[in-house]
Amino acid sequence: YTKYILIIGAFFFIFGFVSWINATLIPYLKIACELEDWQAYLVPSAFYIAYTVMAFPTGWVLQKTGMVKGISFGLYVMAFGCLLFVPAAMSRSYLLFLVGLFITGTGLTVLQSAVNPYITLLGPRESAARRISLMGICNKTAGIIAPLIMGSIILKNSDSLIADLASMGVNERTLRLDQLAHDVIVPYCILASIWIVVAILIRFAHLPEIKPEPVAEASGMDVSSKRNKQFFLGFTAIFFAVGVEVLAGDTISNYGQYHGLGLDFAKNLSSYTLGCMMVGYVLGVALIPRFISQQKAFYCSSFLGLVISLLIIFIPGKISIAFVAALGFANAMLWAAIWPQALKGLSGKQLSTGAAVLIMGIAGGALLPPVFGWMAKEMGHQQAYWILVPCYIFLIYYSILGKKDK
C-alpha cells in the first residue's frame, strides 16, 4: 500500500495548502474589506462550518459515488469555491468571500470524509496514527509554505500600505482598497485550475476502491453502549482539537500585531506554528507505535497543550508569541490519536455514520475563532487565550478514558 499512501499524501499537501491560506486571508480581508477583528475571524468560521452542515450529505454522496470518484467531486467543488473569489474581489464583497470559503470547505468535507477512513483502513489499525501523521506531514508542509507564498503576493509591503491608507481621502482610499482586493484573483484562479487538473488525474491513479457502508440514521446508534458513548466523546474531542489547532494557526498574526510587530513580519507567524506542528508529526511517525502508544502520545500532547496555554496567558511581552507557535507541537498528534480511538468498536453502517459525525466535529474550527475574537475585544488578546484551557482539560480527560478502555 506504499504507493497508494504516497498518492494520498500528495493530495493532503494540496488540501493543506488551501486550508492554511486562511491564516493569510484574515489580515488581508481585514484590510481590504475594512473589518473589525471579530469580523475577520469569520474567515475560518465560514470555511470550517461547512464540515458540520455538509457532513451527512457528504456521506450520502460517497455512498453513491464511491471514495475515488468522491475525491474528484470534492476537488471540483473546491475549484468552484476558489473561482467565486473573482466576483468577490471585483465587488470587494466580504459576504461573497465567505460564500466562496464555505463552498471550498464543502469540497474539503468530501475529501476528508473519503480520505481519512481510507488512510485508517490501508493497513493495521494499531499503526493508523502513524499513517495519519504521515499525511499530517504532507498537510502541514503545505501549511508552512502557503502563508509565505500567499502573504508575499497579497500582503506585500503591508505596513506601508496601512500607513498610506490612514492618510488617504475617501475616494483615493476606496480605489486603493479595490486594487488590493484584486490581488487575490490570480492566485485563486491558479488554485482552481490545479484542483481541476488533479480531479482529472486521480482517475488514472488506480487507487483501490473502498466502498463505504450506507450511512445509518442517528437513531440507529445504541447510545447506551459503552463504545458508542466513547465515540460521542470522540466527537467532542475532535471539536476541541480542531478548535485549538485553528486558533494556534489563525490568531497568531493578529496576536503578533497586538504586541507591536509589523504586519510584514506578523503575516508569516502562522508558518512558525505549522513548523512546530511539523516537528510533532515527525516525532509521531518515528515513535508511534514502536516506542510510545497512541493513547500515551495523546495524553502527553494534551497535557503539554494545557501547560503552554497557561504560559501564553501569564508570561508578559512578545515571548508569549513563541508559545502560541509552540502550540503547534502540542496539537500535532491530537487528530491522529482521536480518530482510531473514537471509531473503535464501530463497524458497518455505524462506522460510516461515525466517520461523518466525527467530521462534523471540525466545526470547532468554525466556532472557537469568533468566540476568541469577542474575548480579545472584551479582555485583550492575551487573556483571550483562556479559551484554550477547558479545551485541553477535556482532551486530557478523553485521553485517560482511552487508556482505561485499552
Summarised one tens digit per residue, pLDDT across range 198-237 is: 888 888 877 776 665 555 554 444 544 555 676 778 889 9
What is the per-residue pLDDT for 202?
84
What CATH number has the domain spanning 2-405? 1.20.1250.20
Residue type, 231: F
All structural domains of the chain with their residue ranges? 2-405
Question: What is the SS3 assignment for 351-377?
Answer: HHHHHHHHHHHHHHHHHHHHHHHHHHH
- DSSP annotation of 385: G
What is the per-residue pLDDT for 59?
76
**How far is CA 402 from each of CA 163, 391, 406, rounded to the nearest angstrom?**
53, 17, 6
Which of 61, 89, 129, 98 is closest to 333 using CA atoms? 129
What is the per-residue pLDDT for 223?
47
Stretches where the chain sits below pLDDT 70 are 1, 117, 120, 125-126, 129, 209-228, 230, 346-353, 356, 403-406
Confidence (pTM): 0.86
Q: Model confidence over 105-117: pLDDT tens digits? A: 999 888 877 777 6
Query: What's the CA gap between 147 and 158, in Å, rounded?
Result: 14
What is the per-residue pLDDT for 398?
92
What is the per-residue pLDDT for 350?
67
